């Protein structure tokens, strides 16, 4: 079985000068093709998400808000810098539908794993609130598709975007069928969105199924690697998911203009390999990466490429940018707190 690829560059969803623009992944398929990595993949045609599929994760009011702003010529969708063009409603539905399409292929055995190369991104879109450049929550829509259509009982969503996945957390906060783990910079009042403290654990039946890893700047490759091996892997093994979904943001790279987390391309490649290996152990290989952030185009492109190497079982890592020129921060104290908090000994 091959790796499924679904591609929605959303070229008409574009605001000049905005960091989340059509240039981010406009050339990604030709770039990947030149490396030869696409030879081991299957390119799928995305199917637009239905309103019913979106209503599994969003309120009718949120969906109507996106449709209305787009239909009247576009404009601002929130009090920040989340925008719509006249084509954004259709393109955001297509991005969500692409993630759903990939899940359908993985869960029916037509693909082993996959990557939804889509925009606009989704992990900041809450049940009833648009934020953070995100219109519809692509990874959440894919998770509900797996549950409603394919009968999946337990899903792990791992978010390694540098920003907290507040939207995904909001949608599954009361839900014990989805474990949500987010690694992100946490500098309240200074760094978007300001949520994601380790005390945010879920509510009701969902208590304990939200796991936040709030990081200081310049954690770097060693710190991220320890988080995945000492925290993420044990929690995943306890939870025993049937499917792993990854909100794959490449803005934790040390050269990204919006953040300062300190990961290198080699560090990202290591995380991708750990997640693919985890899927091989726990889910019969079923894992889907869904693109979120990443605003330095070279880091984004090579980050995606190295993830494809992991998905297709190729023992390659390409890192033309090297490691960050700052000392990495020791996270031993934070890891001790988190492991005690989540009963990992």
Residues with a known catalytic role? 124
Strands 210-215 and 178-185, bridge-based pairing? parallel
Q: Is the dihedral of CA 178, 345, 185, 328 positive or negative?
A: negative
Q: Phi and psi dihedrals of 264, rounded to 5?
A: -100, 170
DSSP character at residue 192 = T
CA pair distance 2, 22, nearest whole angstrom: 28
Token pair belonging to 190: 């200074």
Token pair belonging to 137: 């929550």
Q: Per-residue DSSP letters for 7-49? A: EE--TTS--TT-SS-TTTTTTHHHHHHHHTGGGGEEEEPP-PP
Q: Is 165 left (phi over 0), alpha (psi -120 to 50) or beta?
A: beta
CA pair distance 82, 124, nearest whole angstrom: 10
Peptide bond before 193: cis, by omega within 30 degrees of 0? yes
């Amino acid at each position: 079985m091959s790796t499924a690829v679904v591609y929605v560059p959303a070229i008409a969803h574009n605001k000049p000068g905005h960091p989340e623009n059509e240039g981010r992944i406009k050339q990604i398929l030709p770039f990947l093709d030149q490396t030869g990595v696409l030879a081991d993949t299957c390119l799928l045609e995305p199917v637009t998400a239905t309103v019913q599929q979106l209503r599994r994760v969003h309120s009718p009011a949120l969906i109507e808000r996106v449709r209305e702003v787009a239909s009247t010529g576009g404009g601002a969708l929130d009090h920040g810098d989340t925008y719509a063009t006249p084509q954004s409603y259709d393109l955001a539905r297509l991005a969500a539908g692409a993630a759903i399409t990939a899940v359908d292929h993985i869960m029916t055995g037509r693909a082993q794993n996959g990557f939804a190369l889509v925009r606009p991104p989704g992990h900041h879109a809450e049940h009833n609130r648009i934020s953070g450049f995100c219109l519809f929550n692509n990874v959440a829509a894919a998770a509900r598709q797996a549950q409603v259509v394919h009968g999946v009982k337990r899903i792990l969503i791992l978010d390694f975007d540098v920003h907290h996945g507040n939207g995904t957390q909001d949608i599954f906060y009361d839900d014990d069928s989805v474990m949500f783990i987010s690694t992100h910079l946490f500098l309240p009042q200074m760094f978007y969105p300001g949520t994601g403290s380790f005390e945010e654990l879920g509510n009701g039946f969902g208590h304990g199924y939200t796991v936040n890893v709030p990081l200081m700047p310049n954690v770097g490759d060693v710190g991220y690697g320890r988080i995945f091996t000492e925290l993420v892997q044990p929690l995943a093994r306890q939870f025993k998911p049937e499917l792993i979904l990854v909100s794959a943001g490449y803005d934790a790279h040390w050269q990204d203009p919006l953040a300062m987390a300190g990961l290198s391309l080699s560090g990202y490649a290591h995380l991708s390999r750990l997640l693919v290996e985890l899927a091989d152990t726990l889910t019969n290989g079923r894992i889907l990466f869904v693109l979120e952030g990443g605003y330095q185009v070279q880091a984004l492109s090579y980050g995606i490429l190295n993830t494809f190497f992991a998905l297709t079982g190729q023992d390659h890592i390409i890192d033309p940018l090297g490691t960050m020129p700052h000392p990495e921060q020791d996270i031993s104290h934070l890891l001790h707190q988190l492991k005690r908090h989540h009963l990992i000994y």
